[in-house]
Amino acid sequence: MNRDGGDVRRLTAASGGPTGVDNFQPRFSPFTAGGYYWLSFLSRRDYGNASVGTRGSGFQQIWVTAVRVGAGAGEDPSSVPYWLPGQNTTSRNISAYWAPRPCRPDGEGCSVGSECCGGDCRPDAGGALVCSPPPPERCRMANETCTTSADCCDGLECLANVCVRAPE
């Protein structure tokens, strides 16, 4: 669904077909990866099979699906979900939470500045993208990392180590 409430789409592949199954409490990841949004949700769908004793148990388990960024009009952007490993199959699970990878130190490989503790991802001498300290004279733009509000450009403040527009 778009922010304006338009272009509503059913996530048929993720839901278990047109009739669906008992899915609830969806949580989108706050970041994209590999051209996908990631979505965790709770479901009472079967996991496993009769020989391991999980078939028909109806236990609430955590499942994850990929939702394709930029899917065409009318396309189902979802993928078949997978059961999140490590859960106890004989008890009810409550919810999943997404956490980004900790920031990368200077010198480590990167693809965008937000991955870097210092906020800059630039080519090194060999052309590979690596985390680098930003030039001291440059202020940080919206959504770039910061230590204090003094690091941020005019009109922005540093909240949770990210330059953002000050809440009103």
Please, what are the averages of pLDDT over each run of 10 residues along the chain (168 residues)?
76 75 86 87 79 70 92 89 87 83 91 82 94 86 85 90 80
Same domain, 63 and 118: no
- Residues 90 and 48: their CA atoms lie apart, in Å, by 12
Domains held by the chain: number: 2
Inside any domain, residue 58: yes
Alpha-carbon distances, residue 109 vs 88, 146, 168 (angstroms): 36, 19, 36
Inside any domain, residue 155: yes
Inside any domain, residue 94: no
- Residues 15 and 24: their CA atoms lie apart, in Å, by 10
Inside any domain, residue 51: yes
Same domain, 21 and 67: yes
What range defines the domain where residue 138 resides?
Answer: 113-165
Q: What is the pLDDT of residue 47?
A: 74
- Residues 28 and 84: their CA atoms lie apart, in Å, by 15
Q: What is the pLDDT of residue 50?
A: 61
CA dihedral over 34, 39, 40, 45, signed as positive or negative: negative
Inside any domain, residue 103: no
Same domain, 16 and 79: yes
Inside any domain, residue 138: yes
Same domain, 25 and 79: yes
Site of tokens 């394709």: 68
Same domain, 73 and 124: no
Q: 124 Cβ partners below 8 Å, 6+ apart?
A: 130, 132
Q: Give 43-100 as a DSSP string.
A: E----S-GGGT-TT----EEEEEEEETTPPTT---B---EEPTT--TTS--------P
Inside any domain, residue 76: yes
Same domain, 62 and 118: no
**H helices, E strands: number in the chain:** 1, 8
- Residues 155 and 48: their CA atoms lie apart, in Å, by 53
Q: What is the pLDDT of residue 16?
A: 78
**pTM score of the predicted model:** 0.60
Inside any domain, residue 66: yes
